[in-house]
Amino acid sequence: MKEQLQIKGCDLEVRYSESGFWQEDLIVFFNPPKDNDKIHIIEYLYEEGFILDPRTPIRILDLEA
């Protein structure tokens, strides 16, 4: 399962593993966020229940390159 979101101008997707284990989930940024924004976005995802742990793996794709 996955959820597509736009937070602070960043398009991202949270991909959930079938096992339900948070380390197998993945946050995919479709454009590189600013470092400060990345921290706030991850905090938001955690606080709002989109991710189970703020250490969830991240992948950043640069689609404009």
**Within a domain: 20:** yes
pLDDT grade for 64, boundaries at 50, 70 and 90: low
Cα–Cα distances in angstroms (integers) from residue 39 to residues 17, 43, 45, in the given order: 22, 6, 10
Q: Is 62's pLDDT higher than 90?
A: no
**Within a domain: 65:** no
User: What pLDDT, on a 0 to 100 scale, did the predictor assign at position 34?
Assistant: 86
User: What pLDDT, on a 0 to 100 scale, did the predictor assign at position 50?
Assistant: 97
Q: What is the tally of structural domains in the chain? A: 1
**Within a domain: 35:** yes
For the segment 13-55, what is each residue's pLDDT rounded down to a tens digit?
Answer: 999 999 999 999 999 999 999 889 999 999 999 999 999 999 9
Cβ contacts of 25 within 8 Å, gap of 6 or more: 14, 15, 16, 17, 51, 52, 56, 57
> Whole-model pTM?
0.91
> Domain of 17?
2-60
